[in-house]
Amino acid sequence: MKLEIRLEEKNDYRKVEEMTREAFWNLYVPGANEHSIVHYLRNSEVTIPQLNFVATKDGEIVGHIFYTKAEVIDKEGKSHEVLTFGPLSVSPKFQKQGIGRALIEFTKRIAADMGYKGIIIYGYPGYYNRVGFKSAASFGIARADGVFAKALLAMELYPGSLKEISGDFHEAVSCFQLDENEFLKFESSFPAKEKKHEPSQDLFLEMVDKLEDPENIKLNNH
Neighbours of 104 (CB within 10 A): 20
The pLDDT of residue 84 is 98
Q: How confident is the model at residue 39 (pLDDT cuts 50, 70, 90)?
A: very high
Is residue 75 a contact partner of residue 65, using CB atoms and an 8 Å limit?
Answer: no
Please name which of 142, 131, 128 lies closest in space to residue 217, comparing C-alpha atoms: 142
Q: Is the pLDDT of residue 222 over 90?
A: no
In angstroms, the CA 33 to CA 179 distance is 12
The pLDDT of residue 221 is 44
CA atoms within 13 A on the CB side of 109: 5
Secondary structure (H, E, C), the chain: CCEEEEECCHHHHHHHHHHHHHHHCCCCCCCCCHHHHHHHHCCCCCECHHHCEEEEECCEEEEEEEEEEEEEECCCCCEEEEEEEEEEEECHHHCCCCHHHHHHHHHHHHHHHCCCCEEEEECCHHHHHHHCCEEHHHHCEECCCCCCECCEEEEECCCCCCCCCCEEEEEHHHHCCCCHHHHHHHHCCCCCCCCCCCHHHHHHHHHHHCECCHHHCCCCCC
Segment 172-195 shows an average pLDDT of: 89
The pLDDT of residue 218 is 84
- Report how far Cα 88 is from the mean position of its chain's Cα atoms: 6
Average pLDDT, the chain: 95
Is residue 19 a contact partner of residue 89, using CB atoms and an 8 Å limit?
Answer: yes
Domains of the chain: 3-216 (3.40.630.30)
Q: Is the pLDDT of residue 96 over 50?
A: yes
Segment 170-193 shows an average pLDDT of: 89
